[in-house]
Amino acid sequence: MSPMTTLVNDGNLIVKPISTKQSASSRASNGGDNHHTTSAVLHRSLHHIPLRVESAKGHYLHLSNGQSIFDATGGAAVACLGHGNERQVYNDSSLHSPTMLTMYRVRESINDQMKSVSYCHSLFYATPAAEDLARLLVDSTGGEMARAFFISSGSEAIEAALKLARQYFIEKKPAEPHRTQFIARHQSYHGTTLGALAVGGHVARRALYEPLLSGNNSLVSPCYSYRGLKDATESEDSYVRRLETELDAEFHRLGPHKVAAFVAEPVVGAALGCVPPIKGYFEAVRRVCDRHGALLILDEIMCGSGRTGPVPTARYPKPLHAWQDPLVGVVPDIMVVAKGLGGGYMPIAAMLANHKVMDALQQGSGSFGHGQTYQGHPLACRAALEVQRIVQEQDLVSNVRKQGVLLGKLLKARLGPHPAVGDVRGKGLFWGIEFVRDKGTKEPFAPSDAVAMGIHELGMQEPNNISLYPGTGSVNGCSGDHILIAPAYTVTAQEIQHLVDVTARVIELFFQKHGERYQGKSGGGRAMVGGQ
């Protein structure tokens, strides 16, 4: 493993530099050891210049050093259509000589939008792009949500959701201005802005800014069956009841009349590594919130927009959102989406609120007391609108479900028995692999071992040429390593097979190379980490 940096989860925070030396791969991709390696950009690390992407197409990122990297994670589960959105179609205008055309729908939609208007202030003006996207999203909820609010990032969407929850209790009749507390979960992550960071429970991300964070937040246990179930004798129903009791007790500790909302990801992304809930958990959460008059905010920044392949039901025959899946089974009061919403073509996120919340504002001040310069940006909304139209027209969520089943099956078969793999979990095209020093005790590797980042770095090297998304902190916010796999919704069975083959090879090779250092165990007895 090249000694570079230790990243926390999705790369939003660099904990510490391991070495000030630039990696060989970075030097090669950026022109060697000369002045070109000095950047004026404030990158994620001051000690490492990232690899330079020259172009991208489909599942591949093409680097300046000649490598072509298979993007098995869509960046941070963002590029849901892949890169470039290139699609070849026949031009049937002439039946005698049909020609093959290459279409770039998202790119062309952005160009078309620029021809009409690139920016206007949302305080004074509306645009068809924002109106059409909002209608599409509201309709996608089966009418459960009433309005959509567009901003540029998931963190901003969470900030908006927290503010809206507060305003709801100010404006509802009767008003409840004392509701200022938010409850979230340990090992959770909801964004990097101070409000979003405060409501999250990721220890390492919070540490540097702890003195600046609001004290109006508290945390309960996540629904994380791999580590949360007491032992083999505890049933899932019993575990859910225990979590429900804990959440209810936290309401009472704070004062039930003081809690504004409970915040959670339906399927936990970066902080835990693609952990789906146990059936019945969110129904229990909903009961507690309803019992005490609090709102439920669901964070689908990473797991939403079709990423988890929600299963159709009679109520939601073409589901898009994670909460529409029977595994979640509840309707939020406020929801946020981001990454897969615009597929990375433009920065965009959305907050949606239900009719109860919107009616309170409608009958009160008649406005949301929050706004940003780039909210409802026409280019961003037009790009997201085209992405979502493509997802619908090509029925890509069905492919997410289909290929997700194959991905999970192959990952479990190839890596489940590995002595250093503690758990393989996920849903749709959103899978995580957690690594442990001891499979019997589930003891994690030390943070200083940088296992997840080491696997990512090895994957990036030739001949592997694959990008795997590293994460740490799954055990307690600091310890615990996992990687995420989140390919584009257009992925094929052949590409899934390739992805799994290379991922398994990288993991096996990593632990073979570092077996003595990590001294992995299997089932309570020592075993070579690299062998199966």
Task: Say if residue 469 is in the same domain as residue 384.
Answer: no
pLDDT surpasses 80 at 387: yes
pLDDT surpasses 50 at 418: yes
- Confidence at residue 46, expressed as pLDDT on a 0 to 100 scale: 85
Nearest residue to 431 (alpha-carbon basis) of 306, 275, 302: 275
Task: Say if residue 155 is in the same domain as residue 272.
Answer: yes
Task: Say if residue 295 is in the same domain as residue 364.
Answer: yes
pLDDT surpasses 70 at 400: yes
- Confidence at residue 95, expressed as pLDDT on a 0 to 100 scale: 52
Average pLDDT estimate for 165-194: 97
- Confidence at residue 475, expressed as pLDDT on a 0 to 100 scale: 93
H or E segment to which residue 169 belongs? helix 154-171
The neighbouring-strand residues paired with 261 are 182, 295
- Confidence at residue 33, expressed as pLDDT on a 0 to 100 scale: 40
Domain end, chosen from 376, 393, 410, is at: 393
- Confidence at residue 285, expressed as pLDDT on a 0 to 100 scale: 98
Render pLDDT for 183-226 as a digit per residue (tens, 0 to 9): 999 999 999 999 999 999 988 889 999 999 999 999 999 999 99
Render pLDDT for 449-507 as a digit per residue (tens, 0 to 9): 999 999 999 999 999 999 999 999 999 888 999 999 999 999 999 999 999 999 999 99
Task: Say if residue 477 is in the same domain as residue 378.
Answer: no
Which pLDDT band, with edges at 50, 70 and 90, does 93 fall under?
Answer: low
- What is the residue range of 281's domain? 111-393
Average pLDDT estimate for 106-128: 95
Task: Say if residue 171 is in the same domain as residue 277.
Answer: yes
Nearest residue to 222 (alpha-carbon basis) of 292, 299, 157, 294: 299
Residue 428 lies in a domain: yes
Residue 106 lies in a domain: no
Burial 33-46 (b: 16+ CB within 10 A, else e): eeeeeeeeeeeebe
Residue 168 lies in a domain: yes
Task: Say if residue 63 is in the same domain as residue 145.
Answer: no
Residue 485 lies in a domain: yes
- Confidence at residue 431, expressed as pLDDT on a 0 to 100 scale: 98
pLDDT surpasses 90 at 371: yes
Average pLDDT estimate for 29-56: 74
- Confidence at residue 295, expressed as pLDDT on a 0 to 100 scale: 98
Q: Where are the beta strands (DSSP E) in 105-144?
A: none
The whole-angstrom separation of Cα 386 and Cα 315 is 25
Residue 359 lies in a domain: yes
Which pLDDT band, with edges at 50, 70 and 90, does 424 fall under?
Answer: very high
Task: Say if residue 51 is in the same domain as residue 197.
Answer: no
Nearest residue to 411 (alpha-carbon basis) of 285, 286, 311, 499: 499
Pick the more confident residue, 204 or 434. 434
Give me the number of domains the chain comprises.
2
Residue 518 lies in a domain: yes
Render pLDDT for 267-285 as a digit per residue (tens, 0 to 9): 999 999 999 999 999 999 9
- Confidence at residue 89, expressed as pLDDT on a 0 to 100 scale: 58
Residue 91 lies in a domain: no
10 Å Cβ neighbour count for 269? 30
Structure tokens at 312: 């159709």
DSSP one-letter string for 294-359: -EEEEEETTTTTTTT-PPP-SS-SS--SGGGSTTT----SEEEE-HHHHTTSS--EEEEEEHHHHH
Nearest residue to 406 (alpha-carbon basis) of 468, 276, 495, 311: 495
- Confidence at residue 48, expressed as pLDDT on a 0 to 100 scale: 82
pLDDT surpasses 70 at 36: no
Cis link prior to 266 (omega < 30° from 0)?
Answer: no
> Comparing 97-106, 295-304, 315-324, 402-411, which segment has the lowest mean pLDDT?
97-106
H or E segment to which residue 155 belongs? helix 154-171
Average pLDDT estimate for 237-259: 97
Domain end, chosen from 393, 427, 446, is at: 393
H or E segment to which residue 27 belongs? helix 24-29
Task: Say if residue 272 is in the same domain as residue 313.
Answer: yes
- Confidence at residue 456, expressed as pLDDT on a 0 to 100 scale: 97
Task: Say if residue 364 is in the same domain as residue 492.
Answer: no
Nearest residue to 484 (alpha-carbon basis) of 494, 496, 476, 472: 472
- Confidence at residue 35, expressed as pLDDT on a 0 to 100 scale: 41
Q: Does the reported pTM lie above 0.85?
A: yes
Pick the more confident residue, 39 or 61. 61
Cis link prior to 317 (omega < 30° from 0)?
Answer: no
CATH number at residue 147: 3.40.640.10
Task: Say if residue 17 is in the same domain as residue 138.
Answer: no
Structure tokens at 206: 């919070």
CATH number at residue 75: 3.90.1150.10
Task: Say if residue 318 is in the same domain as residue 218.
Answer: yes
Nearest residue to 45 (alpha-carbon basis) of 61, 66, 64, 26: 26
CA–CA distances in Å: residue 517 to residues 47, 156, 514: 25, 42, 5
Nearest residue to 202 (alpha-carbon basis) of 124, 332, 299: 299
Task: Say if residue 45 is in the same domain as residue 140.
Answer: no
Domain end, chosen from 362, 393, 424, is at: 393
- Confidence at residue 477, expressed as pLDDT on a 0 to 100 scale: 85
Residue 205 lies in a domain: yes
Q: Are 301 and 264 in contact (CB under 8 A)?
A: no
Q: What is the 3-state secondary structure (H, E, C) of 386-433?
A: HHHHHHHHCCHHHHHHHHHHHHHHHHHHHHCCCCCEEEEEECCCCEEE
Which pLDDT band, with edges at 50, 70 and 90, does 142 fall under?
Answer: very high
